[in-house]
Amino acid sequence: MAHDDGGAPGPTGTGAPSCPEPEPEPDAAGQPCAGAGAGAGAGAGDPWPPLPSPLRARLAEIAGIALGGLSPTEVPPPLRRFAKFTPAKRARLGGHLLVTRLEQDAAFRAVVVAWWAEHRPGELELPDREEPADPADPSGDLPAPVDKLDAAAVALLTGDPLAARRVAEVEQSGDLSALRAERDEALAKVDKVTAELERVRAELGEEREQAQALVADREAEYQQMRRRVSEQGAKLRSALDARAELEAEVARLRAGADDRLAQARAECETERERAEQEHRRAESAAREVAAARQAARDARRGDEVRLELLLDTVGGAIAGLRRELDIGAGGPRPADFVAGTVGTAGDGAAVSGRAGVPVDGLAALDTLLAVPSVHLIVDGYNVSKTGYPDLPLADQRSRLVGQLGALGARTGVEITVVFDGAAVSAAPLRGTRGVRVLFSEAGVIADDVVRDLVAAEPCGRPLLVATSDQEVVRSVRRRGAHTVPSAVLLRRLGG
């Protein structure tokens, strides 16, 4: 960027007319004296157009870098307190004031341009181009390698007639970048949902193949038992035929002599006993066949139960995907009726049914979170004070709820976190999507609200309570809820 050596003041102020410093005012940075920056401020009296945020940041950065190299007399009084800061801190804390001063103070603008021209020559200059005769002529396009943000900043600082056009180009470039970012984000979400759907389909196919293999095995066992029954029936018929033959032989022998009759009777009795033994063996075989048939029916019934559980699991996965995509709207959950309660579930007699079990590892936690319709209840401060006790309570709540929201998005489980209301001095935290946040009423502790949540759920629903309070652990496990220590949940949350 070229400048007039005779009119623009250098970094030490030599060659520029001096003027007294004006008194600082709340809404103005002082008036420049006449004659300052005559070479770099052509057309600088015109007001600047509205500036986009990236361009304001770039102007603040340029002024902040130059501010540290100016003499105290060249720095306007309102900006002197920023001169001792680093350039980045000047742009961050005094950015608005720096840009306002550049726009309103032509002398300060000229000093900044002159400092860059002397100490960093070439950094604020654009490649040579032929100036159009008419400022509105569209022939003032920049060469391709030139950054539009720098071009707009240079145009504003040097009073370029095309400054308004350069600002418009920056705004247009920012809008296109935002649209591209939104498009890329939407495409990434579509790819994620498509991959999850393919995974669920693959898992469903594998489970279906396993179920078909089990049915084939049971059918083969059933056919084998049928063959055994057929063989035993043939043996029974043979025994009956033998008995008939023996009875015929007995009748024939009765017509003989007494000695032969006695002998025949003895032989008949022997054969009869043998036939009865065969008959008993046949009846025992028939009972074994009936038992085998019953076992086959029980096995098939077990297969049907496992298949039903598999279908329930697939249904739970589909329901989780519907919640993730926000398809449809469900009714209120049992835990929605516990918010604001003033009573407690107490530690009375255990509810009938199976007691809960402790979950001590990440593998067991992941397995339980994959169960359909599981409800995760979190003792808020017990977990947050275990994971990040150095943070203020409000930050602990925000961080924990954010991490639980990410967990709910991944697993699709229902999550409720309970905090003590007595420790909340500001407005209560609003729950993120997929996380229900409850605060206990005055005089009620969060432990009692956790017990109320467990008691409100229907019998048989899988519940998981995250806490390290052993008194709460014992009471909720008696009611059938599983428990996981706060440290294990924090490991899963990544906190």
Claim to verify: residue 356 and residue 219 sit in the same structural domain: no
- Residue 181 included in any domain: no
How confident is the model at residue 432, as a pLDDT? 67
157 and 202 both lie in a single domain: no
- 484 and 453 inside one domain: yes
Asked, for residue 274, whether it belongs to a domain, the answer is yes
Statement to judge: residues 297 and 224 lie in one domain: yes
Q: Domain with 252 in it: what CATH number? A: 1.10.287
Q: What is the CA radius of gyration of the chain?
A: 44
Domain shared by 359 and 474, yes or no = yes
Sign of the dihedral through C-alpha 212, 215, 221, 223: negative
Q: Which helix (H) or strand (E) holds 216?
A: helix 163-254
From CA 489, how far away is CA 484, in angstroms rounded?
7
Does a structural domain hold residue 172? no
Cα 67 off chain centre by: 45
Is residue 329 included in any domain, yes or no?
no
Q: d(Cα 101, Cα 83) in Å, to the nearest integer?
A: 14
Among 68, 74, 71, smallest CA distance to 87 is for 68
pTM (whole model) above 0.75: no
**Number of domains into which the chain is organized:** 3
Are residues 278 and 342 located together in one domain of the fold?
A: no
pLDDT for residue 25: 38
CA–CA separation, 246 and 270 (whole Å): 10
- Cα(495)–Cα(492) distance, integer angstroms: 8
Amino acid 24: pLDDT: 39
Q: What is the C-alpha separation between 212 and 216, in angstroms, rounded?
A: 6
pLDDT at 422: 65
Give residues with Cβ within 8 angstroms of 32, minimum separation 6: 19, 105, 106, 107, 108
Boundary residue ending a domain (324, 359, 375): 324
Domain boundary among 282, 301, 324: 324
Angle, helix 148-158 to helix 53-67, in steps of 10 degrees: 60
- 338 and 310 fall within a common domain: no
Burial code of 307-345, b = ≥16 C-beta within 10 A, e = fewer? beebeebbebbebbeebbeeeeeeeeeebeebbebeebb
Domain shared by 341 and 316, yes or no: no
In a domain, 179, yes or no: no
Identify the pLDDT of residue 138.
47
- Flag whether 74 is in a domain: yes
Domain that includes residue 319, residue range: 195-324
CB 429 within 8 A of CB 401: yes
Question: Which pLDDT tens digits describe the chain residue by residue (495 residues)?
Answer: 433 333 333 333 333 333 333 333 333 333 333 333 333 333 445 788 888 888 888 888 888 888 888 888 888 888 888 878 888 888 888 888 888 888 888 888 888 888 888 888 877 765 554 444 455 444 455 554 467 888 888 878 887 787 788 888 887 776 656 656 766 777 788 888 889 998 999 999 999 999 999 999 999 999 999 999 999 999 999 999 999 988 888 887 777 777 777 888 898 899 999 999 989 889 888 888 888 888 888 888 877 777 777 787 777 777 767 666 655 545 566 666 665 443 333 344 344 456 788 888 999 999 999 988 899 999 999 999 999 999 999 999 999 999 999 999 999 999 999 999 866 655 455 556 779 999 998 889 999 999 999 999 888 889 999 999 999 999 999 999 999 999 999 999 985
At residue 4, the pLDDT reads 37
Q: For residue 364, what is the domain's CATH number?
A: 3.40.50
318 and 340 in a single domain? The answer is: no
3-state class of 464 per DSSP?
strand
Could you tell me which residues come within 8 angstroms of residue 87 by beta carbon, excluding any fewer than 6 positions away? Answer: 61, 64, 65, 67, 68
Examine the domain organization and report whether 112 and 209 are in the same domain. no
Six-digit token string for 119: 């100490």
CA distances from 20 to 9, 17, 32, 33, 41 (A): 16, 10, 9, 8, 20
276 & 353 share domain: no
Instruction: Examine the domain organization and report whether 269 and 385 are in the same domain.
Output: no
Does residue 82 form part of some domain?
yes
Q: Taking phi first (over 0 means left), then psi (-120 to 50 degrees means alpha), and beta for anything else, what does residue 353 get?
A: left
Q: Domain ends where: 304, 324, 344?
A: 324
Question: What pLDDT shows up at residue 220?
Answer: 92
In this structure, is residue 98 part of a structural domain?
yes
